[in-house]
Homo-oligomer: A and B are copies of this chain.
Amino acid sequence: MLSDKSKQETLDLSAQTLIKQLASMHASELAELVLSCRNDEERLQLIASIPEDLLGDTLLELPEGMKDDLLAQLNTRDIEEVVEHLDSDDATDILQSVKPEVADEVIKGLDPEDRRGIEPLMAHDEESAGGLMQAELFKVRDDWYATKVLNVLRRWGKSIENLTYIYAVNQHDKLTGVIPLHALLFAEPDEEIWRIADVDFPSVLVDEDQEEVARIFHKYDVLALPVVDKKGVLVGRITADDIIGVVHEEATEDMFHLAGLSNQDDLAESVRITAWRRGVWLMFNLVTAVIASAVIAQFQATLEQIVALAVLMPIVASMGGIAGTQTLTVMVRGIALGRVTFANAKRALFKEVKVSMVTGLSFAFLIGLLASFWFPEHGSTLGLIIAAAIMINLLAAGLAGALIPLTLQRLDIDPALASGTILTTVTDVIGFLAFLGLASIFLL
């Protein structure tokens, strides 16, 4: 319940009733309550009344930005109490969200066992297997008998949540196999444990990216994965429930990046901060829109004479934009799910180009006809020109939609990042250039 000072401030009679009620709630319900507060002040008051054994889990359920803001308001003693009630992986998440000097001080204050669990985790990137894993696991020597394992488990395993697998290691602490807990129950008492261990059970390296870890979970349908270092030494485990959060987070990040949103954007954030974050992306879009306008400006003389071009040009741009976005989204998602890899990228690119040619030809024909009927004063020339422009732009859209994310991926940049805006710049510029350029040549 935080430090004594905060306590005194809030402990009147009604507050006591409130605290009792809060203590009976689940952390995720408390997080919803915190989210529904109108402002940071209300939030801090509520936070001060949440029992300390629930506070850590509550904070972890909040959006990243809000969690960091609230943690910044707590003092070292408060954070220590929060951390003491958490598993090592969650404690590390909290400590990686506060200033390094505060984290150091908190770690110094912990009891030695907690410290031993947390310190090695602090070294890992938050978005790696090491950042996801927890140190709490149950490992045994692979030459132990089943009875011994069961006895040790009865003595030491009680504190481990979601204990589903037992990990077998050799004398150098290297992982040699995984035993599902229920397999242990079916073992003969005098069976050596390596005999019932699954030696092909997948494991992940400690510095593996969390997106790849999610893919491995999805691929092998397991409830937990052991984490090993480069030497094969068992250093932690990741459970499937944590991966559900990762998958949500990664999908949100891709969707937000595609839409020109910061991945910190959140409904609970203040209007000022949201407007600022979105403004940055709108500014980027403004620059690219001005580039497209500058292209149009080159054809002012043509537009003055044939105003039908101004009427039709958004169709060329819009069709290119949508077709490109289709390809872009398929590629970004394919990369995220591991379906598009370096090996098959060329084939994916070819397919997108072929699809662009088919849709390009069809819509070129359709839109060409439409333009000829709409503006009969230009005969069939206008129709042919817009048909050519649509064909060119849909091909460019397919190429750009595939090449932009592949290139970003190659450069180790998130393939979704700003792809949408770059793509529409390409389709706008090429669309306007092709349409107005051809018109200047053939209609004037």
- Residues of A at under 8 Å CB distance from B? 26, 28, 35-36, 150, 153-154, 157-158, 160, 162-164, 180-182, 185-186, 214, 217-224, 239-245, 247-248, 251-252, 254-256, 258-261, 265-267, 271-272, 274-275, 278-279, 281-282, 285-286, 288-290, 292-293, 296-297, 300, 303-304, 307-315, 317-319, 322-323, 325-326, 328-330, 332-334, 337, 339-340, 344, 348, 351, 354-355, 358-359, 362-363, 366-367, 370, 420-421, 424, 428, 432
B267 A292 Cβ-Cβ under 8 A: no
Q: Report A327 CB to chain B, min CB distance, Å.
A: 9
B221 A241 Cβ-Cβ under 8 A: yes
Nearest-neighbor residue (CB-CB) of A436 within chain B: B310
Interface SS, A side: helix
Q: In the complex, what distance in Å separates the CA atom of A186 from the CA atom of B293?
A: 72
B185 A154 Cβ-Cβ under 8 A: yes
Using A164-B164, A311-B296, A329-B256 as known contacts, say yes or no to A289 and B318 having CB atoms under 8 A apart. Answer: yes
Q: In the complex, what distance in Å separates the CA atom of A359 from the CA atom of B276?
A: 8
Complex interface: chain B residues within 8 A of A261 (CB): 326, 329-330
**Nearest 6 A-B pairs (CB), nearest first?**
A251-B251, A240-B240, A259-B329, A275-B358, A310-B310, A221-B241
Q: In the complex, what distance in Å separates the CA atom of A115 from the CA atom of B243?
A: 33
Number of copies: 2
Known: A247-B248, A286-B363, A296-B311. 4 other contacts (CB 8 A): A28-B220, A181-B182, A251-B251, A256-B330
26 contacts between A and B (CB under 8 A): A164-B164, A218-B244, A221-B241, A240-B241, A244-B244, A247-B247, A255-B333, A256-B329, A265-B330, A267-B330, A267-B340, A275-B359, A275-B362, A278-B323, A286-B366, A289-B318, A293-B311, A296-B310, A297-B311, A300-B307, A300-B310, A303-B311, A307-B310, A310-B313, A314-B432, A318-B424
Complex interface: chain B residues within 8 A of A307 (CB): 300, 303-304, 310
Nearest-neighbor residue (CB-CB) of A61 within chain B: B219
B326 A281 Cβ-Cβ under 8 A: yes
Q: Report A367 CB to chain B, min CB distance, Å.
A: 7
Q: In the complex, what distance in Å separates the CA atom of A420 from the CA atom of B321?
A: 12
Q: In the complex, what distance in Å separates the CA atom of A428 from the CA atom of B154?
A: 67
